[in-house]
Amino acid sequence: MKVLVVGANGQVGKHLVKFIQDTEHMEAKAMIRKEEQASYFKDLGAEPVIVDLESGPDTIAEAFDGVDAVVFTAGSGPNTGPDKTMMIDLDAAVKTIEAAKHKGVKRYVMISSFDTTREAIQSAPESFAPYVVAKHYADDWLRKTDLDHTIIHPGMLNNEGGTGQVEAAETVERGEIPREDVARIILETLQNDSTIGKEFQVVGGSTSVEDAVKSL
């Protein structure tokens, strides 16, 4: 299975590409935006593809050639304003969903935010609300497609070492999760078709990633 990782140079993305390359039956196509980012992925044996997510839909769709699944783990990050939130967390996400449809890439895994409900928008602090809005509508766009999708809602991400132990369910108590464990749960999701059509929240916990995904 060849997996297009959108946002591959991100903190979750880099773990994910490595985990994919460590499997025997999967390989990653790493979507990055700068030539100088490519060597990390080439060294892992992954195929880099350089595309700025603010590009037009046709340019983005070209990166979908030859892949079987896509993971969206890009993000505008906390150091940019609502303009980039609109361009990346919403518009780029929708462009990749449309590209998947157009190119016949059925499997789509979205890394969303912990709570993207209407209630979460209304109760978010003013500076955070545009991000929740973007994630809310991107998730909703994906739900309304016939793609084989899974929407993952991780808690607050940290850079502690992964433990491989999580708590995952439709709703869980708010908490933190290492980015490495988010990458593990994405990998497990890609390998379990029982996750198709589902969405779940995930935080650090005491169940192995494998068992947590099986129990969904």
CA atoms of 193 and 86, how far apart (whole Å): 31
Nearer to ligand NAP, 9 or 195 (CB): 9
CB of residue 64 to ligand NAP, shortest distance in Å? 15
Nearer to ligand NAP, 27 or 139 (CB): 139
**In the structure encoding, which two tokens stand for residue 57, read together?**
């839909």
Strand 198-204 with 165-169, pairing: antiparallel
- CA angle centred on 131, ends 128 and 136, rounded to 5°: 125
Phi–psi pair at 162, nearest 5 degrees = -70, 150
By the criterion CB under 6 A, which residues form the site for ligand NAP?
7, 9-13, 33-34, 52-54, 73-77, 88, 111, 113-114, 154, 156-157, 179
H or E stretch at 59: helix 57-62
Catalytic residue among 40, 108, 131, 137: 131
Nearer to ligand NAP, 25 or 120 (CB): 120
User: Which residue number has the CB closest to ligand NAP?
Assistant: 10
CB of residue 151 to ligand NAP, shortest distance in Å? 11
- In the block, tokens 């209304």 appear at 122
CB of residue 84 to ligand NAP, shortest distance in Å? 7
131 is catalytic: yes
CB of residue 3 to ligand NAP, shortest distance in Å? 15
Nearer to ligand NAP, 25 or 39 (CB): 39
The full DSSP string for 97-163 is HHHHHHHT--EEEEE--S--SHHHHHHS-TTTHHHHHHHHHHHHHHHTS-SEEEEEEE-EEE-SPP-
Phi–psi pair at 211, nearest 5 degrees = -65, -35
Closest CA to 64 of 124, 21, 105, 110: 105
Local structure of 7: helix, strand or coil? coil
Nearer to ligand NAP, 80 or 194 (CB): 80
CB of residue 24 to ligand NAP, shortest distance in Å? 25
Q: Which residues are catalytic?
A: 131
